[in-house]
């Protein structure tokens, strides 16, 4: 008889008691027995959150053996993969191994199905037995291991018309283009910071679709490579490269591009800290800033906006919005060029 579990996985929290699995310092990652409302997953690939993996790579000096050590240490101490510096996790791809008795017949997956989890690794009980391969350029790590998905956890079945690596890469950032679809209106001027990255390219495509011919999409990239790649996609009306941690030159460039009007909507997708002020300064007073980046500091954003007298509405990026998996995968089906680039980079 399987033990009865909490919908939100509270039964897995070891310490401190009384909190949910995400903020917990340690959770139970024993996979020998599952609770009646859990799904046991045989894990194939971890897609580490970009801010988290960037930090781990820097800490390891790019050395793959040190990256492995850091990852094993995180999981050994916490029972999950929550980066202690960034607080973020990622998501995973795997095969459903076992479904708890209370869930059988009530969910649309069965044992043997391949799924991608759409909840963060920062709350997912995880056991890593072996790290087989590290694809540092795309933040993916192949492992032998197990994970638990709670009853409240969301997931997506891997579609048959796309390679697994492509699906995993896209679903990792599914919240960003889906939120863009909700936030951008016809005629809007939209600035996307970190526009040449994974979430950035998806957001540029979606923003252009929503802003329409009367709107304007501006893409800010960091490297020459990502800038050239974004230009080749033709999703943006303007593309430029700059250091997003240096707000003054970016402000001046935006004033030039928009004739001082600035952006109605700014979407921040970067994976490094200290980009809050560039986002705020480039957005008009009654505009909106969407911080999808897990490197965002609420304190810096709030006090920074106050310090420059900006009345922007700031939204914390929620990795989940209703239908986000379907919306994001449909973008790759809609746009041949977007799918081609994603396939080359991530599949």
Q: Rounded mean pLDDT of 253-263?
A: 98
Q: Rounded mean pLDDT of 42-47?
A: 96
Residue 224 pLDDT level (bands cut at 50, 70, 90): very high
Four-residue CA torsion sign, 96, 100, 102, 105 = positive
| Residues 157/115, Cβ–Cβ less than 8 Å | yes
Per-chain mean pLDDT for the chain: 95
| Residues 35/3, Cβ–Cβ less than 8 Å | yes
Q: What is the Cα–Cα distance from 87 to 229, expressed in whole angstroms?
A: 30
| DSSP E strand boundaries for the chain | 13-15, 26-27, 39-48, 90-99, 114-117, 126-135, 140-149, 155-157, 189-193, 216-221, 238-241, 263-268, 283-291, 313-316
What is the predicted pLDDT for the residue at 320?
Answer: 82
What is the predicted pLDDT for the residue at 294?
Answer: 81
Is the pLDDT assigned to residue 169 strictly greater than 90?
no
Q: Rounded mean pLDDT of 180-198?
A: 96
Is the pLDDT assigned to residue 172 strictly greater than 90?
no
Separate counts of helices (H) and strands (E) for the chain: 11, 14
Quick check: pTM over 0.95? Answer: no
Q: Hey, what domains does the chain have and what are their CATH numbers?
A: 10-158 (no CATH), 175-346 (3.40.50.720)
């Amino acid at each position: 008889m399987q033990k009865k579990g909490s919908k939100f996985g509270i039964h897995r929290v070891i310490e401190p008691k009384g909190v949910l699995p995400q903020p917990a310092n340690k959770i139970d990652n024993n996979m020998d027995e599952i609770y009646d409302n859990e799904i046991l997953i045989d894990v194939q690939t971890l897609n580490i959150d970009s801010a988290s993996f960037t930090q781990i790579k820097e800490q390891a000096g790019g050395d793959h053996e040190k990256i492995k050590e850091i990852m094993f240490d995180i999981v050994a101490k916490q029972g999950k993969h929550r980066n202690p510096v960034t607080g973020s996790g990622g998501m995973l791809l795997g095969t459903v191994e076992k479904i708890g008795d209370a869930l059988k017949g009530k969910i649309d997956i069965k044992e043997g199905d391949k799924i991608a989890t759409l909840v963060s690794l920062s709350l997912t009980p995880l056991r890593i037995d072996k790290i087989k391969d590290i694809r540092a350029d795309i933040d993916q790590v192949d492992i032998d291991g197990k994970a638990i998905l709670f009853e409240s956890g969301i997931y997506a079945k891997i579609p048959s018309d796309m390679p697994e690596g492509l699906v995993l890469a896209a679903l990792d950032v599914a919240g960003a283009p889906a939120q863009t679809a909700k936030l951008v209106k016809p005629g809007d001027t939209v600035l996307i910071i970190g526009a040449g990255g994974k979430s950035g390219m998806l957001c540029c495509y979606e923003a252009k679709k929503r802003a329409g011919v009367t709107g304007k999409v501006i893409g800010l990239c960091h490297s020459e490579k990502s800038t050239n790649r974004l230009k080749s996609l033709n999703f943006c009306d303007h593309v430029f490269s700059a250091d997003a941690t240096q707000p003054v030159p970016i402000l001046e460039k935006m004033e030039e591009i928009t004739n001082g009007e600035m952006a109605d909507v700014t979407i921040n997708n970067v994976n490094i800290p200290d980009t809050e002020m560039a986002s705020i300064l480039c957005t008009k007073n009654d505009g909106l800033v969407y911080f999808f980046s897990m490197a965002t500091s609420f304190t810096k954003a709030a006090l920074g906006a106050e310090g420059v007298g900006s009345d922007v509405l700031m939204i914390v990026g929620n990795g989940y919005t209703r239908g986000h998996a379907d919306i994001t995968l449909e973008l790759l089906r809609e746009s041949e060029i977007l799918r081609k680039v994603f396939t080359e980079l991530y599949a």
